[in-house]
Amino acid sequence: MTTTVWLLVAAVVVLLVLAWTAWTLTRLRRLEARVDRAWTTLESQLQRRAALAGELARDHAAVLGPDLAHSLAGTAAAARVPPSGDRELAENALGRLLRELPADLGVPVALRADLAGTATRLQLARRFYNDAVRDTRDLRQRRFPRAARLHARRPMPRFFDIDDDLGGVLTAVPPADREADRP
């Protein structure tokens, strides 16, 4: 083979590596944007659940009892802005407290349904966020992106693991109560 052929082969290889690097960078940027969008959605659902729990504690304190209402209000406030900085711990405490509410609680069906819907949306938002984080981490930990230090200065996204079990009183609205609340 002549020198010209070797130069042509080398140029093709360099072009292929550059194209693959550009494709990988584009994919990483899209995944980072996906993580950001998923976090925004998750954050809004976490804030909504904390607001609904605060509303439950504030507006229905007589039904809950003073101790439970005070505990629920404090836990909801801590979930909005965790004092220790551990968001997952604060959200787990709020979720646990909401699940442990008694089944015969005299809370309006609309509020129970809103809390149940928020719990479902929260579970979905957490799954979407963790899927986006998994995909981003998988691509960033492959051999070539690590060796080429693609997105090396950006922090590695973290999974958000909370116990978002849907069991509990506020997740189920009996059909009879749904009918009773309709005008």
The terminus-to-terminus CA distance of the chain in angstroms comes to 86
Closest CA to 160 of 128, 138, 136: 128
- Please report, for residues 10, 24, 70, 114, 175, the alpha-carbon distance to residue 17 in angstroms, rounded to integers and kept in the order given: 11, 10, 61, 52, 60
* Distance of alpha carbon 120 from alpha carbon 166, whole angstroms: 7
- Please report, for residues 123, 128, 150, 151, the alpha-carbon distance to residue 146 in angstroms, rounded to integers and kept in the order given: 32, 25, 6, 9
- Please report, for residues 101, 129, 136, 140, the alpha-carbon distance to residue 155 in angstroms, rounded to integers and kept in the order given: 39, 16, 11, 11
Q: What count of other Cβ atoms lies within 10 Å of the Cβ of residue 66? A: 9
Note down pLDDT in tens along the chain; length 183 residues.
789 999 999 999 999 999 999 999 999 999 999 999 999 999 999 999 999 999 999 998 888 888 999 999 999 999 998 877 889 999 999 999 998 887 677 888 888 889 989 999 999 999 999 999 999 999 999 998 888 888 888 899 999 999 877 665 454 444 444 444 444
Whats the size of the chain, residue-wise? 183
How much is the pTM? 0.82
Closest CA to 107 of 142, 139, 72: 72
* Distance of alpha carbon 149 from alpha carbon 106, whole angstroms: 57
* Distance of alpha carbon 122 from alpha carbon 85, whole angstroms: 20
